[in-house]
A and B are shown apart, each in its own frame.
Chain A
């Protein structure tokens, strides 16, 4: 069939109308008419809040996220500053301290020998010496004295033939 024949056939079909509604069904449909109150769907709805509260709500809707975003940006920016990269506790020691006197001291606290045996049964002797290393920095202009002490243990094996 050509398009023209199809259109002509469609026109002929349209001449046959759908059957009329049965009277009982027409009566049913007429009785089922929705109530007017149910038909009005798009009537303007009264606002639940006064105008100024509504404006405030709309403002807060954007203000709160904007504030949070601004704080986050400021924190990120502040974190990128050189002054913020100082190590924790670095602020306790003045960065401009200049030591005018440095003392390094080593004190032997104790010394003793320990005797043991190797797995082959050969005796071996260890000389154990306990030391304390101390460093003292002084800044007389600012009246600062910084002392740092650190214990140290030296163990030296000593052969019996050396005795």
Chain B
């Protein structure tokens, strides 16, 4: 794995910088896997703590393991969503979902990318997210999604082509 998540040894004081560096991309993936912001945050927190407990030799958890845990927990959560539909609708309305960083000059582009990503088929969207912003290899993506690496690569290519068509306004 060459994603750079675990190439250094962490001690307890590294928790905060590690979170600052990696949690945004985990939350981005979680937002796409869950139905509301509150669920995404819950899933990320549970996955990070779970993987942190299971790490060996003070090495931070591998990126693939983190994304796979987020996906698994999101699926488990989705099965019980109906029972909590009322609470989620209130929370989702209260917290707007913003997937990408919105600087002053990047706000429009970020919103367009988010809109385009939302229009992608889910199997394309998750591969594109894991590759572009998760910085995983196709082999790692294959492990996270439980699909062959070749399938991950082809989905990525098709996803990028579709995303390119949807964003011609900002990427001419």
Residues of A that sit less than 8 Å from B by CB: 1, 5-6, 9-10, 12-14, 16-22, 25-26, 28-30, 32-34, 36, 38-42
Contact = CB atoms under 8 A, between A and B. Distances in A.
A126 B53 CA distance: 102
B12 A29 contact: no
Q: How large is the interface on B (under 10, 10 to 19, 20 to 34, 35 or more residues)?
A: 35 or more
5 contacts: A1-B161, A10-B132, A13-B133, A17-B101, A41-B56
B100 A29 contact: no
- Chain B interface, >50% SS class: helix
A28 B45 contact: yes
Interface string B47-58: 011001111111
B106 interface: yes
A100 B2 CA distance: 98
Contact of A28 (B41, B109, B157): B41
B109 A16 contact: yes
B58 A39 contact: yes
B139 interface: no
A34 B24 CA distance: 19
A81 to B, nearest CB: 57
B58 A16 contact: no
Interface stretch (B15-23, B72-80, B84-92, B144-152): B15-23
A36 B11 CA distance: 9
Contacts of B19: 21, 26, 29-30
B36 interface: no
Contacts of B25: 18
Given A19-B24, A33-B12, A33-B15, A10 B53 contact: no
Interface in B22-50: 23-25, 27-28, 41, 44-45, 48-49
B122 interface: no
B142 interface: no
Interface string B1-16: 0000000000010011
Given A9-B164, A28-B41, A29-B19, A17 B12 contact: no
Given A9-B164, A18-B100, A29-B19, A38 B53 contact: yes
